[in-house]
Amino acid sequence: MVSYKSQNIFTKNLVKYILSRISGTNKLDEYCYVRPDNHYILGTLASQKIRKKHDVSSSEGASIRAQKMSVSFLVSNSHLNSHSKINVEIAGHIYYRIKEYEKNLSSHLTVSENSDTDEEEIHEDDINKLQGNPSKKQSVWKRGDFGFSMNLDLENDKKEINFHDLIEEINSDIKNEKKISVSLWNVFFEIEKSEYSKNLSLITLSLINESIEPEKLDGYCRTLFSCNFTTDLGQVKIHEYENNYKYGNYQQKYFYEFRTLNCQCEWKEEKRIFITKHFAKHEQINVKPRTEIEGIDLSFSSLKTEEIGRASCRERV
Protein backbone atom coordinates (compact mmCIF):
# COMPACT_ATOMS: atom_id res chain seq x y z
CA MET A 1 0.00 0.00 0.00
CA VAL A 2 1.27 3.46 -0.90
CA SER A 3 2.06 5.52 2.17
CA TYR A 4 0.30 8.78 2.91
CA LYS A 5 3.63 10.62 2.62
CA SER A 6 4.19 9.24 -0.90
CA GLN A 7 0.63 10.15 -1.92
CA ASN A 8 1.12 13.67 -0.59
CA ILE A 9 4.41 14.14 -2.48
CA PHE A 10 2.83 12.81 -5.70
CA THR A 11 -0.18 15.12 -5.33
CA LYS A 12 1.95 18.22 -4.73
CA ASN A 13 4.20 17.43 -7.70
CA LEU A 14 1.18 16.83 -9.93
CA VAL A 15 -0.43 20.14 -8.93
CA LYS A 16 2.88 21.94 -9.41
CA TYR A 17 3.28 20.43 -12.88
CA ILE A 18 -0.25 21.32 -14.01
CA LEU A 19 0.05 24.90 -12.76
CA SER A 20 3.40 25.35 -14.50
CA ARG A 21 1.97 24.07 -17.79
CA ILE A 22 -1.07 26.38 -17.79
CA SER A 23 1.03 29.41 -16.84
CA GLY A 24 3.85 28.72 -19.31
CA THR A 25 6.62 28.54 -16.71
CA ASN A 26 7.52 24.88 -17.24
CA LYS A 27 10.75 23.98 -19.04
CA LEU A 28 8.65 22.32 -21.73
CA ASP A 29 6.97 25.68 -22.41
CA GLU A 30 10.18 27.46 -23.37
CA TYR A 31 8.94 26.81 -26.92
CA CYS A 32 5.28 26.82 -27.96
CA TYR A 33 3.79 25.55 -31.25
CA VAL A 34 0.46 27.39 -31.02
CA ARG A 35 -0.38 31.01 -30.26
CA PRO A 36 0.57 31.36 -26.58
CA ASP A 37 -2.35 33.66 -25.76
CA ASN A 38 -4.71 30.84 -26.81
CA HIS A 39 -2.80 28.26 -24.81
CA TYR A 40 -1.79 29.67 -21.40
CA ILE A 41 -4.49 30.89 -19.05
CA LEU A 42 -2.92 31.45 -15.63
CA GLY A 43 -1.31 34.77 -14.76
CA THR A 44 -1.79 36.39 -18.18
CA LEU A 45 -2.46 40.06 -18.94
CA ALA A 46 -4.04 40.14 -22.37
CA SER A 47 -3.73 42.76 -25.05
CA GLN A 48 -6.83 44.64 -26.18
CA LYS A 49 -8.46 43.28 -29.30
CA ILE A 50 -9.80 45.54 -32.03
CA ARG A 51 -13.19 44.30 -33.25
CA LYS A 52 -15.63 45.53 -35.84
CA LYS A 53 -18.59 47.36 -34.31
CA HIS A 54 -21.08 45.00 -35.97
CA ASP A 55 -19.27 41.92 -34.70
CA VAL A 56 -21.61 40.66 -31.98
CA SER A 57 -19.03 38.18 -30.68
CA SER A 58 -16.83 41.05 -29.50
CA SER A 59 -19.24 41.86 -26.68
CA GLU A 60 -20.60 38.41 -26.00
CA GLY A 61 -17.43 36.33 -26.09
CA ALA A 62 -17.10 33.68 -23.43
CA SER A 63 -13.36 34.07 -22.88
CA ILE A 64 -11.98 36.25 -20.09
CA ARG A 65 -9.15 38.55 -21.14
CA ALA A 66 -7.86 40.29 -18.04
CA GLN A 67 -5.72 43.33 -18.91
CA LYS A 68 -5.11 44.59 -15.40
CA MET A 69 -4.05 43.20 -12.03
CA SER A 70 -4.27 45.25 -8.85
CA VAL A 71 -3.60 45.21 -5.12
CA SER A 72 -5.24 47.75 -2.79
CA PHE A 73 -4.38 48.53 0.83
CA LEU A 74 -4.98 51.21 3.45
CA VAL A 75 -2.46 53.70 4.85
CA SER A 76 -3.03 56.33 7.53
CA ASN A 77 -2.80 59.88 6.23
CA SER A 78 -0.41 60.98 8.97
CA HIS A 79 1.98 58.11 8.24
CA LEU A 80 1.69 58.58 4.48
CA ASN A 81 2.96 62.14 4.65
CA SER A 82 6.25 61.14 6.26
CA HIS A 83 6.87 57.65 4.80
CA SER A 84 5.75 57.28 1.20
CA LYS A 85 8.58 55.53 -0.68
CA ILE A 86 8.11 51.97 -1.92
CA ASN A 87 10.03 49.65 -4.24
CA VAL A 88 8.23 47.51 -6.82
CA GLU A 89 9.74 44.62 -8.79
CA ILE A 90 7.74 43.40 -11.79
CA ALA A 91 8.33 40.03 -13.46
CA GLY A 92 6.82 37.87 -16.19
CA HIS A 93 7.53 36.71 -19.71
CA ILE A 94 6.49 37.22 -23.32
CA TYR A 95 6.62 35.05 -26.44
CA TYR A 96 8.06 35.94 -29.85
CA ARG A 97 8.22 33.98 -33.08
CA ILE A 98 11.30 32.18 -34.33
CA LYS A 99 11.81 29.88 -37.29
CA GLU A 100 13.78 26.66 -37.03
CA TYR A 101 13.63 22.98 -37.79
CA GLU A 102 11.47 21.10 -35.32
CA LYS A 103 14.05 18.33 -34.97
CA ASN A 104 16.44 20.80 -33.36
CA LEU A 105 14.03 21.76 -30.59
CA SER A 106 14.77 18.70 -28.49
CA SER A 107 18.33 20.00 -28.03
CA HIS A 108 16.89 22.98 -26.10
CA LEU A 109 15.17 20.72 -23.57
CA THR A 110 17.04 19.58 -20.49
CA VAL A 111 16.26 16.54 -18.40
CA SER A 112 16.31 16.96 -14.64
CA GLU A 113 17.24 13.84 -12.71
CA ASN A 114 16.28 15.43 -9.41
CA SER A 115 12.49 15.51 -8.95
CA ASP A 116 12.87 17.96 -6.05
CA THR A 117 14.09 20.78 -8.31
CA ASP A 118 11.93 23.32 -10.11
CA GLU A 119 12.66 21.72 -13.48
CA GLU A 120 10.29 18.92 -14.42
CA GLU A 121 11.57 15.66 -15.86
CA ILE A 122 11.11 15.51 -19.64
CA HIS A 123 10.30 12.11 -21.09
CA GLU A 124 10.96 10.81 -24.57
CA ASP A 125 7.24 10.92 -25.41
CA ASP A 126 7.20 14.67 -24.77
CA ILE A 127 10.12 15.23 -27.13
CA ASN A 128 8.50 13.06 -29.83
CA LYS A 129 5.37 15.19 -29.65
CA LEU A 130 7.47 18.32 -30.20
CA GLN A 131 9.46 16.95 -33.12
CA GLY A 132 6.62 16.44 -35.61
CA ASN A 133 7.84 16.44 -39.20
CA PRO A 134 11.57 17.22 -39.12
CA SER A 135 11.70 17.96 -42.84
CA LYS A 136 9.33 20.91 -42.58
CA LYS A 137 10.01 24.38 -41.22
CA GLN A 138 7.31 26.06 -39.19
CA SER A 139 6.95 29.00 -36.86
CA VAL A 140 7.62 28.44 -33.20
CA TRP A 141 7.03 30.80 -30.28
CA LYS A 142 9.97 31.28 -27.93
CA ARG A 143 9.67 32.49 -24.35
CA GLY A 144 11.50 35.61 -23.19
CA ASP A 145 11.65 36.73 -19.54
CA PHE A 146 11.39 40.30 -18.31
CA GLY A 147 11.98 41.99 -14.98
CA PHE A 148 11.83 45.61 -13.87
CA SER A 149 12.46 47.45 -10.62
CA MET A 150 11.29 50.95 -9.69
CA ASN A 151 11.21 53.22 -6.65
CA LEU A 152 7.92 55.08 -6.34
CA ASP A 153 6.10 57.61 -4.19
CA LEU A 154 2.59 56.73 -3.04
CA GLU A 155 1.04 59.49 -5.11
CA ASN A 156 -1.20 59.33 -8.16
CA ASP A 157 1.14 58.30 -10.95
CA LYS A 158 1.31 56.13 -14.05
CA LYS A 159 4.70 55.00 -15.30
CA GLU A 160 5.38 53.29 -18.61
CA ILE A 161 7.47 50.13 -18.47
CA ASN A 162 10.37 50.20 -20.91
CA PHE A 163 10.90 46.94 -22.81
CA HIS A 164 13.82 48.40 -24.78
CA ASP A 165 16.49 46.00 -23.45
CA LEU A 166 14.32 42.92 -23.98
CA ILE A 167 13.37 44.03 -27.50
CA GLU A 168 17.02 44.65 -28.32
CA GLU A 169 17.86 41.15 -27.09
CA ILE A 170 15.07 39.59 -29.16
CA ASN A 171 16.01 41.49 -32.32
CA SER A 172 19.60 40.30 -31.96
CA ASP A 173 18.44 36.66 -31.88
CA ILE A 174 19.38 35.25 -35.30
CA LYS A 175 16.36 32.92 -35.15
CA ASN A 176 13.90 35.77 -34.59
CA GLU A 177 11.33 35.68 -37.40
CA LYS A 178 10.25 39.34 -37.33
CA LYS A 179 11.88 42.46 -35.93
CA ILE A 180 10.02 43.96 -32.98
CA SER A 181 9.38 47.67 -32.65
CA VAL A 182 9.77 49.50 -29.32
CA SER A 183 6.04 50.26 -29.32
CA LEU A 184 4.86 46.63 -29.51
CA TRP A 185 4.15 46.34 -25.78
CA ASN A 186 2.43 49.26 -24.05
CA VAL A 187 2.54 48.34 -20.38
CA PHE A 188 2.12 50.63 -17.38
CA PHE A 189 2.41 50.51 -13.61
CA GLU A 190 -0.12 52.77 -11.96
CA ILE A 191 -0.49 54.12 -8.42
CA GLU A 192 -3.85 55.54 -7.39
CA LYS A 193 -4.47 57.28 -4.06
CA SER A 194 -7.99 58.10 -2.95
CA GLU A 195 -9.80 58.96 0.27
CA TYR A 196 -11.10 55.93 2.16
CA SER A 197 -12.07 57.61 5.43
CA LYS A 198 -11.20 60.73 7.39
CA ASN A 199 -7.89 59.27 8.55
CA LEU A 200 -7.15 56.64 5.93
CA SER A 201 -6.16 56.68 2.25
CA LEU A 202 -6.76 53.84 -0.20
CA ILE A 203 -3.66 52.95 -2.23
CA THR A 204 -4.07 50.83 -5.36
CA LEU A 205 -1.10 49.41 -7.27
CA SER A 206 -1.88 48.14 -10.78
CA LEU A 207 -0.01 46.46 -13.61
CA ILE A 208 -1.83 47.22 -16.87
CA ASN A 209 -1.36 45.90 -20.39
CA GLU A 210 -2.64 48.55 -22.81
CA SER A 211 -1.14 46.95 -25.91
CA ILE A 212 -3.47 46.88 -28.90
CA GLU A 213 -3.83 43.72 -30.96
CA PRO A 214 -4.94 44.46 -34.54
CA GLU A 215 -8.02 42.83 -36.01
CA LYS A 216 -5.85 40.86 -38.42
CA LEU A 217 -3.09 38.88 -36.72
CA ASP A 218 0.35 40.22 -37.61
CA GLY A 219 2.66 37.54 -36.23
CA TYR A 220 3.21 39.19 -32.84
CA CYS A 221 1.87 38.28 -29.41
CA ARG A 222 1.28 41.28 -27.15
CA THR A 223 -0.05 39.32 -24.17
CA LEU A 224 2.08 39.17 -20.99
CA PHE A 225 2.44 35.83 -19.23
CA SER A 226 2.94 34.70 -15.62
CA CYS A 227 2.81 38.31 -14.41
CA ASN A 228 3.50 39.25 -10.81
CA PHE A 229 4.93 42.11 -8.80
CA THR A 230 6.70 42.23 -5.45
CA THR A 231 6.34 45.36 -3.31
CA ASP A 232 8.70 46.45 -0.56
CA LEU A 233 6.75 48.90 1.60
CA GLY A 234 9.86 50.10 3.41
CA GLN A 235 8.61 52.15 6.36
CA VAL A 236 5.03 52.38 5.08
CA LYS A 237 2.64 50.71 7.53
CA ILE A 238 -0.69 49.46 6.25
CA HIS A 239 -4.00 49.25 8.11
CA GLU A 240 -6.41 46.36 8.00
CA TYR A 241 -9.79 46.50 6.30
CA GLU A 242 -12.67 45.83 8.67
CA ASN A 243 -15.90 44.20 7.57
CA ASN A 244 -18.83 44.02 9.97
CA TYR A 245 -21.55 41.44 9.50
CA LYS A 246 -24.09 39.39 11.40
CA TYR A 247 -23.92 35.65 11.88
CA GLY A 248 -27.15 34.49 13.40
CA ASN A 249 -27.95 37.11 16.01
CA TYR A 250 -24.33 37.93 16.72
CA GLN A 251 -22.32 40.82 15.34
CA GLN A 252 -19.07 39.67 13.77
CA LYS A 253 -15.95 41.42 12.46
CA TYR A 254 -13.61 40.24 9.71
CA PHE A 255 -10.16 41.78 9.23
CA TYR A 256 -7.92 41.51 6.18
CA GLU A 257 -5.08 43.50 4.62
CA PHE A 258 -5.39 43.33 0.82
CA ARG A 259 -8.06 43.68 -1.83
CA THR A 260 -7.03 42.24 -5.18
CA LEU A 261 -8.14 42.20 -8.80
CA ASN A 262 -7.20 39.31 -11.14
CA CYS A 263 -4.59 38.03 -8.66
CA GLN A 264 -4.04 37.08 -5.04
CA CYS A 265 -1.58 38.57 -2.57
CA GLU A 266 0.45 37.29 0.37
CA TRP A 267 3.22 38.47 2.66
CA LYS A 268 6.72 37.46 1.65
CA GLU A 269 8.17 39.24 4.66
CA GLU A 270 5.57 39.99 7.32
CA LYS A 271 4.21 43.54 7.26
CA ARG A 272 6.88 44.77 4.85
CA ILE A 273 7.15 42.83 1.54
CA PHE A 274 4.18 41.34 -0.29
CA ILE A 275 3.98 39.47 -3.59
CA THR A 276 1.11 38.82 -5.98
CA LYS A 277 0.13 35.24 -6.80
CA HIS A 278 -1.91 33.82 -9.67
CA PHE A 279 -4.26 32.00 -7.32
CA ALA A 280 -5.05 31.34 -3.67
CA LYS A 281 -4.12 27.91 -2.33
CA HIS A 282 -5.67 26.11 0.60
CA GLU A 283 -4.35 22.75 1.75
CA GLN A 284 -6.87 20.66 3.66
CA ILE A 285 -5.23 18.82 6.54
CA ASN A 286 -5.77 15.09 6.39
CA VAL A 287 -7.48 14.40 9.72
CA LYS A 288 -7.38 10.75 10.65
CA PRO A 289 -10.61 9.68 12.39
CA ARG A 290 -10.42 8.06 15.81
CA THR A 291 -10.93 4.31 15.68
CA GLU A 292 -10.91 3.74 19.41
CA ILE A 293 -12.81 5.11 22.38
CA GLU A 294 -11.77 3.91 25.78
CA GLY A 295 -13.24 0.45 26.17
CA ILE A 296 -14.64 0.24 22.61
CA ASP A 297 -12.78 -0.80 19.46
CA LEU A 298 -14.36 1.03 16.49
CA SER A 299 -12.05 -0.32 13.82
CA PHE A 300 -13.60 -1.85 10.71
CA SER A 301 -12.27 -5.29 11.55
CA SER A 302 -14.01 -5.12 14.92
CA LEU A 303 -17.34 -3.84 13.61
CA LYS A 304 -17.55 -5.89 10.41
CA THR A 305 -19.64 -8.60 12.08
CA GLU A 306 -22.77 -7.94 14.06
CA GLU A 307 -21.74 -10.24 16.90
CA ILE A 308 -18.36 -8.58 17.44
CA GLY A 309 -19.89 -5.12 17.30
CA ARG A 310 -22.56 -5.98 19.84
CA ALA A 311 -20.05 -7.67 22.10
CA SER A 312 -17.86 -4.57 22.06
CA CYS A 313 -20.79 -2.37 23.02
CA ARG A 314 -21.89 -4.75 25.80
CA GLU A 315 -18.36 -4.66 27.23
CA ARG A 316 -18.55 -0.89 27.28
CA VAL A 317 -21.91 -0.93 29.09
Let me know whether 255 and 190 are in one domain: yes
Let me know whether 195 and 231 are in one domain: yes
CA distance 40 to 141: 13
Is 293 contained in some domain?
yes
Is 192 contained in some domain?
yes
CA distance 145 to 196: 37
Residue 78: what pLDDT?
84
- How wide is the angle at C-alpha 85 spanned by C-alphas 80 and 91, nearest 5°? 125
Question: CA separation (Å) from 125 to 100, 106, 113, 259?
Answer: 21, 11, 16, 43
> What is the distance, to the nearest Å, from the Cα of residue 165 to the centroid of all Cα atoms in its chain?
24
Let me know whether 153 and 208 are in one domain: yes
- Mapped onto helix, strand or coil, the DSSP state of residue 126 is helix
Residue 315: what pLDDT?
55
Residue 111: what pLDDT?
39
Let me know whether 164 and 304 are in one domain: no
Domain range for residue 312? 289-317
Residue 307: what pLDDT?
57
Residues 248, 237 contacting (CB under 8 angstroms): no
Let me know whether 217 and 256 are in one domain: yes
pLDDT, block means (10 residues), the chain with 317 residues: 83 93 94 92 90 46 74 90 86 90 47 42 47 55 95 92 94 91 94 94 96 89 96 92 88 93 93 92 75 68 61 52
Let me know whether 154 and 220 are in one domain: yes
Let me know whether 206 and 297 are in one domain: no
Is 12 contained in some domain?
no
Let me know whether 247 and 295 are in one domain: no
If we measure between CA atoms, which residue out of 189, 175, 168 comes closest to residue 138? 175
pTM above 0.85, yes or no: no
- Burial status of residue 167 (CB atoms within 10 A of its CB: 0-12, 13-18, 19 or more): buried
Is 300 contained in some domain?
yes
Residue 310: what pLDDT?
55
Residue 115: what pLDDT?
41
Let me know whether 145 and 256 are in one domain: yes
Let me know whether 203 and 222 are in one domain: yes
| Total number of domains constituting the chain | 2
Let me know whether 151 and 214 are in one domain: yes
